[in-house]
Amino acid sequence: MKDWDEPYFLTLTVKACKASQLKRYISSMLKTFQKIVEKHRKRAQRGTGLKLIGVKSLESNFNPKTKTYNPHFHIITKEKWMAEVIKREWLVRSKKGYTAHWCQKLVPVTNLETGLIEIIKYGSKIFTEPDLKKKAKQTDTAHIYLKALDTILIAMKGKRIFDRFGFNA
């Protein structure tokens, strides 16, 4: 990855869901992503395209106000066009109303080490501010929502939360 000239950081997300939907959302997201990568891998094998190269992680956070979960991917691609292709196909393949263009983040990676730390640091956000709109003051404390954390861990059980695609490590 140190040899990548133009790495890009991409966040792919879907609309928030209830606890009972989280496992299904995560499975659907993983299948959709795999279909995108597989399509381009096959095109590269046929000589009609280029394969997508990058690393991804699956994450979910919990909103204590609305009691909803936000599953999403953090991805670093080798080049900008790869991130753009993944983002475009993600939006096309997702069910209408479950994704929005403005929710998907695409930015250049200025520091590869920092970018990698961002995608591999966790699969769930254990500490959550009670009021998401306010930054925690030094006297405030974050809360651990154990039931929400358990829901996230159960939904991710057996899933590969960190993975590479398009290259062998």
* 102-153 confidence digits (pLDDT tens): 889 999 998 887 777 777 776 555 555 555 555 545 545 667 888 999 999 9
Closest CA to 19 of 124, 166, 108: 124
How many Å apart are CA 169 and CA 156, to the nearest integer?
A: 23
Contact of 161 with 57, CB cutoff 8 Å:
yes
Within 8 A by CB and 6+ apart from 50, the residues are: 40, 43, 44
49-102 pLDDT per residue, tens: 999 999 999 999 999 999 999 999 999 999 999 999 999 999 999 888 888 888
pLDDT at residue 135 in the model: 54
Given a contact cutoff of 8 angstroms between Cβ atoms, the answer to whether 14 and 93 are in contact is no
**Of 32, 22, 88, 77, residue with least CA distance to 52:** 77
**Contact by Cβ (8 Å): 144, 126:** yes
Residue labelled with tokens 């204590």:
64
Residue 41 scores a pLDDT above 70: yes
Helices (H), the chain: 19-46, 80-93, 112-120, 146-156
Rounded to two decimals, the pTM is: 0.85
Other beta carbons within 10 Å of 121: 11
